[in-house]
């Protein structure tokens, strides 16, 4: 059996250099894919989109408020005012109930 000779220092140094180059390649920041003028442009577009979204939400809020006010007016007209539909029908209901009572009295009273 022949004795193996120790590896040469030059080969070890070459292996270390290759390992260091690979580590640097792995940890190195990647070059920017986007051009330098595109990043501020995208930031501006993002800000404009956020502002436009805020205005849109404001218009939706205004529309909801207007619709709510309309519903409140209609509710007041139908239920709460003295000339409302509920007030008018309650008078009619009272009259119909009195007629119904009179009819019941007539039907239960003995005939002559």
Three-state SS for 31-84 is: CCCCCCCHHHHHHHHHHHHHHHHHHHHHHHHHHHHHHHHHHHHHHHHHHHCCCC
pLDDT at residue number 1 = 45
Instruction: Establish if 12 belongs to a structural domain.
Output: no
85 found inside a domain: yes
Instruction: Kindly state whether residues 48 and 60 are assigned to the same domain.
Output: yes
Same domain for 52 and 74, yes or no, is yes
What confidence score (pLDDT) does residue 109 get? 75
Q: In this structure, what is the dihedral angle of CA atoms 12, 18, 24, 30, given to the nearest 10 degrees?
A: -170
Domain that holds residue 99: 81-112
Query: How many domains is the chain built from?
Result: 2
pLDDT digit of tens for each residue in the chain (112 aa)?
445 555 578 888 998 999 888 888 777 666 667 778 888 899 999 999 999 999 999 999 999 999 999 999 888 877 777 777 777 788 888 888 999 998 888 888 766 5
What is the per-residue pLDDT for 91?
Answer: 80
One domain, residues 45 and 72? yes
pTM greater than the 0.85 cutoff: no
Asked if 72 and 54 sit in the same domain, the reply is yes
Other C-beta atoms closer than 10 Å to the C-beta of 77 total 12
**35 occurs within a structural domain:** no
* Residues 97 and 73 placed together within one structural domain of the fold: no
Q: Outline where DSSP puts E strands in the chain.
A: none
Residue 100 and residue 73 share a domain: no
**Residue 5 placed within a domain:** no
């Amino acid at each position: 059996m022949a004795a193996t000779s120790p590896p040469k220092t030059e080969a070890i140094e070459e292996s270390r250099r290759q390992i260091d180059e690979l580590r640097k390649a792995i940890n190195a920041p990647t070059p920017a894919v986007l051009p330098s003028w595109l990043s501020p442009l995208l930031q501006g577009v993002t800000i404009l989109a956020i502002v436009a979204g805020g205005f849109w939400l404001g218009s939706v809020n205004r529309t909801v408020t207007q619709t709510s006010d309309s519903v409140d007016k209609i509710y007041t007209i139908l239920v709460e005012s003295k000339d409302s539909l509920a007030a008018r029908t309650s008078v009619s209901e009272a009259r119909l109930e009195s007629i119904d009572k009179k009819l019941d009295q007539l039907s239960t009273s003995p005939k002559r």
